[in-house]
Amino acid sequence: MKIASLDHIVLCVARVDRTIEFYQRLLGMEAREERPGKWSLHFGSNKISLQEAGSVPDIARSTAPGSGNFCVLTRDPVVQFSEELRSLGIEIVAGPGEREGATGKLLSVYFRDPDGNLVEVSNPLPDSAAET
């Protein structure tokens, strides 16, 4: 078997409503109720499913709020976004700094959501081989 792409990730959260508000306000994600009480956040062709800690299914028994860590890409300048985070009183954990992403180098900034999940927002950097 060869995996083709990532479909979605799941975050265990303390309060779905608080998580939705944070990601909508800060990152412009769209909340959708997939079925009664089951929410997800959408951006581009991607999805983050949300599971409230009190109702995590047995299959995900070891998950807990704040145990997530993921990266999203943006076309908006990460340096300017970092300034916006500071102005909103959101602590920057690291960055902006250069990192290695799935398809090349990134300029990344890290911060935590209300549950403590580590969020990395990145700009793809030009390929150094293409610059020569």
Q: Within 10 Å of residue 69's Cβ, how many Cβ atoms?
A: 12
Residue pair 16/38 in contact (Cβ under 8 Å)? The answer is no
CA 41 from chain centre, in angstroms, equals 10
Catalytic (active-site) positions: 120
Q: Within 10 Å of residue 81's Cβ, how many Cβ atoms?
A: 20
By residue count, the chain amounts to 132
